[in-house]
Amino acid sequence: MNRLDFRTWYDQLRKPAWTPVPGTIGLIWQILYPIILFSFGFILYKAMRGGLPWLVAVPFIINLAANLLFMPIFGGLRNLPLATVDIVLVLGTILWMMVAVWPHYRWIAAAQLPYLVWVSIATVLQITITLSNGRKCP
């Protein structure tokens, strides 16, 4: 079986009319990744130096792992249900991060708001794509 390249596969998926074009999705991540990198780095630095309990850093670590796994699951494995589980985990850990860090660094919690908004939209999009396509993995 000849596996389709990612773009061809992605273009063939049934998606809602409001799906952002891939270039827009890339631009959003270009804005979010520096915020994520700085805030996550700050939290990990504080935890490693003993200035913050490691339990506060745990949701940041889980979130980073789940975030980084999304594209290999979605685009590599082309497993829509598993990608949906992954993005729900990303969304849940953002909320957990914000709650965990709020008593220590409210500005870090607030800095996650754009990330929360985008991943909320992306989660609804992913769920919609999964329900519209089932287990489609051409």
Q: 138 near 9, Cβ under 8 Å?
A: yes
Least Cα distance to 113 among 10, 11, 36 occurs for 36
Q: What is the pLDDT of residues 58-107, one digit of tens each?
A: 999 999 999 999 999 999 999 999 999 999 999 999 999 999 999 999 99
Q: What is the pLDDT of residues 104-135, one digit of tens each?
A: 999 999 999 999 999 999 999 999 999 999 76
Report the alpha-carbon distance of residue 20 to residue 102 in Å, rounded. Answer: 31
Q: 94 near 67, Cβ under 8 Å?
A: no
| pTM beyond 0.85 | yes
Sign, Cα dihedral of 50, 52, 58, 64: negative
